[in-house]
Structure 1
């Protein structure tokens, strides 16, 4: 059973088939992400790595990395998101394991890499989640986090923004990062969880892939050996 509020899960279930992948930071930006992530993972964990995409949504990162030859597991709390992810993956001929589950409860692993995008702000205990992601990694494994100041983002659709506000009205108070976070706050979480080699990789992007949201960053870190 999911501990996420029903209204929140319902919101993401609905968004999965109502314009989510058409947003500027989603499928229209896929090639930009692929050109940056594929060489980064190849350099850090090698070819054919076992990768966990936590909070995978419609499988944006999972499908990029599976297409690059990695063995990918995608996990999300929203069954609706995973249904779309599985359909997209099947259409693209990709073998990805899709799992329903909380971001703070990753499968045991060990994984060579854990990747996550725009997820930390949604979690009631982000510090615990980051610590559990470290335990899911092999020694020396890679953590890759992308996030930003989502509390200041504009979705661009009044009806969707109202649905978001209504869905999160009762949940935001329990989310310490509901306004989003910057690189420094994320680096502190990684440090506290015992990660090493914490690095700011934001400069891999010449411009932020999310025009509507300030504070985009890309962080990498390694599990201690």
Structure 2
């Protein structure tokens, strides 16, 4: 008797959650993930103040909060922070780091939070992983109060800059590590598999009803502050990538 293949309820979102769960133990060890004290923290604070203004106790949702680095930054800026992440191992580390912050386990595309419950939503390096950005942006608009603010920081991690193209030509990669193969497989199947460009995201945000959408590529202070951790080669590669912040507002009325 031949056996039928077993059906699986796992989908791409589960694979993304498991990938980051497996990286949780060493996540803060990677340059660009942990925000170091001093110049880097000051540069991130300046970016967030530029777009969000003073915290003043406003309710802020940190989507895909990971180990809590952006949550810690926003708490220091005076926001009342809630972190949300799909990975329990990431959340476990965030709760140790920030015992006074509420961290919830949920999918950033399906938060299950009450409507109009947040003044501000922030994300860092989440949008490029989204399976369904139009649905996610509609969900974020639902969760924001009328006139609430959205700030996302992201980049096109697919399209190589000119320095990357030159390095690959001079020293082509012959093989990928298992972790990088896993990352590449996931990246090939997400919505932004061809690269998360700022203008594309801005159009999707407008389609979801967001207003006052602005693209900010002035991230040089952050990149300069990270240079010591990255080293010269990686720092130069990062500066040629398409990285940006996008801020927007939920409409005052539907």
When the two structures are superposed, what TM-score results if normalisation uses the length of structure 1? 0.83
Q: Show the counterpart of 1:224.
A: 251
Could you say if the C-alpha distance between residues 161 and 217 of structure 1 is closer, same or farther in structure 2, counting changes exceeding 3 Å? farther
Question: Which range moved further: 72-81 or 211-220?
Answer: 211-220
Could you say if the C-alpha distance between residues 207 and 97 of structure 1 is closer, same or farther in structure 2, counting changes exceeding 3 Å? closer
Separation in 1, partners of 2:219, 2:183: 34
The reply on whether 1:162 has 2:166 as its aligned counterpart is: no
Could you say if the C-alpha distance between residues 8 and 196 of structure 1 is closer, same or farther in structure 2, counting changes exceeding 3 Å? closer
Alignment counterpart, residue 46 of structure 2, candidates 35, 51, 56:
35
1:73–1:97 Cα contact (<8 Å) kept: yes
Say how many residue pairs are matched: 215
2:27–2:33 Cα contact (<8 Å) kept: no
Could you say if the C-alpha distance between residues 173 and 34 of structure 1 is closer, same or farther in structure 2, counting changes exceeding 3 Å? same
Gaps of 5+ in 2: 1-8, 165-173, 227-234
Separation in 1, partners of 2:27, 2:188: 27
Deviations 1:181-213 (A, max 9, x none): 121011111111111100123326446477454
Give the root-mean-square deviation of aligned CA atoms: 2.8
Q: Show the counterpart of 1:182.
A: 197
Q: Which has the larger radius of gyration?
A: 2
Q: Show the counterpart of 1:88.
A: 97
Q: What does 1:103-118 correspond to in 2, within 5 Å?
A: 103-106=108-111, 107-108=113-114, 109-118=116-125
Could you say if the C-alpha distance between residues 180 and 84 of structure 1 is closer, same or farther in structure 2, counting changes exceeding 3 Å? farther
Q: 1:131: Cα distance to partner?
A: 1.1
Could you say if the C-alpha distance between residues 68 and 3 of structure 1 is closer, same or farther in structure 2, counting changes exceeding 3 Å? farther
Could you say if the C-alpha distance between residues 41 and 2 of structure 1 is closer, same or farther in structure 2, counting changes exceeding 3 Å? farther
Gaps of 5+ in 1: none
Separation in 2, partners of 1:10, 1:148: 22
Separation in 2, partners of 1:220, 1:63: 20
Q: 1:83: Cα distance to partner?
A: 1.2
